[in-house]
Amino acid sequence: MNTSPTTRIALVTGGSRGLGKSTALHLARQGVDVILTYQAQAAAAQAVVADIEALGRKAVALQLDVAQSSSFAAFAEQVRVTLKNHWSAERFDVLVNNAGTGAHASLMETTEAQFDALVNVHFKGTFFLTQKLLPLMADGGRIVNLSSGLARFALPGYSAYASMKGAVETLTRYMAKELGPRGIAVNVVAPGAIATDFGGGAVRDNAQLNAFVASQTALGRVGEADDIGAMIASLVSSDNRWINAQRIEVSGGMML
């Protein structure tokens, strides 16, 4: 049970910066409390917590490396204790599997270590973290997995990264099918190129790349973090409870 009939709690991985931070803040503006995770940037995560509290919502930051699946059982127990101590709750309502890293290398240059790192973060991490957290999710809850526009259109250098995101898109449909009896809706959001520090901040900081992306986008600009965070918050609102098992690209019309 939550602290009140209207209290909703979301868990957002990678919530200390970029898309995760934007998602956490937009959820808070909708009246949702947030558990956010960070890998190493504790101070940045606590700053997001302070921003959420300034909006009148509760927030807690927990450390998590989504590449380390062996830590997920202990993390789930930490979430259980956090729910009890901070919300007097047993369940949370929304899971956003956002945490991720980028990699740019041609098919011929991609190393097995790079490939394995992408599997661990983007696919294995999403699969097994969700598995471990599902006993703590409320029936009727929502899951949003993050993909990429690169799973639809192909740009040289992203074969491994995009393949992981393609796997996440397939996994999302299976999650929706298997979790349907619990009333849990599962969707995948696929951002286009976004001006954040993701991938070393190339889209944000490289003027030539930024201009190229804008030229390939129907709305004529590069995406911003808030374009994605606002959409995810809208997707998990009660108004969108009938959307399920869908891939939703949020790219401004890129590579049409």
More confident residue, 200 or 152: 152
158 is catalytic: no
Instruction: Evaluate whether 150 touches 158 at the Cβ level (below 8 Å).
Output: yes
Read off the pLDDT band of 1 (50, 70, 90): very low
- Residue 208: the pLDDT is 82
Average pLDDT, the chain: 94
**What pLDDT digit, counting tens, does each position of 109-131 carry?**
999 999 999 999 999 999 999 99
- Residue 201: the pLDDT is 64
Domains of the chain: 8-246 (3.40.50.720)
- Residue 3: the pLDDT is 44
Question: Is a pLDDT exceeding 50 seen at residue 80?
Answer: yes
**What pLDDT digit, counting tens, does each position of 212-251 carry?**
889 999 999 999 999 999 999 999 998 999 999 999 999 9
More confident residue, 147 or 202: 147
- Edge to edge, the sheet with strand 247-250 lists 59-63, 32-38, 8-12, 92-97, 137-146, 185-191, 247-250
- Residue 2: the pLDDT is 39
- Tell me what percent of the residues of the chain surpass a pLDDT of 90: 87
Catalytic residue, from 38, 158, 161, 174: name it: 161
Between CA 198 and CA 101 the distance in angstroms is 7
**What pLDDT digit, counting tens, does each position of 60-74 carry?**
999 999 999 999 999
- Residue 62: the pLDDT is 98
Mean pLDDT of 25-40: 98
- Residue 209: the pLDDT is 82
- Residue 207: the pLDDT is 80
- Residue 200: the pLDDT is 64
